[in-house]
Amino acid sequence: MKNEETHISSYTSHAIVLIALLLMTAVSVLITGWHIGAFTVAMALLIASIKVSIVIYNFMHVKYESRFIKLMVIGVFVVYALVILITFIDYYLR
């Protein structure tokens, strides 16, 4: 962390994150009910990735870190997205 500062999150921000995560969970459950082929899995993975980024940003306190750490986290998500993309391309070309 920057200068080893203590960061205290408010209950309001935790409630907003909770509501957002619950809504995205409901949306992902609804999407799995639709039968749109492999896009169902892609949408579920996209929603799960957004949920993970919210948790990392808020509960792992990345929002208080330096730009370098934020770029490293974004880099991990880019690599994850590339692996998923390559997997789906391989699946479609078989």
Tell me the whole-structure pTM to 2 decimals: 0.77
Provide the number of structural domains found in the chain.
1
d(CA 76, CA 58): 17
pLDDT digits (tens, 9 = 90+) for 32-56: 888 887 788 888 888 999 999 999 9
Backbone angles phi, psi at 59, to 5 degrees: -90, -20
Determine the structural domain holding residue 31 and report its residue range.
2-92
pLDDT digits (tens, 9 = 90+) for 5-33: 677 778 898 899 999 999 999 999 998 88
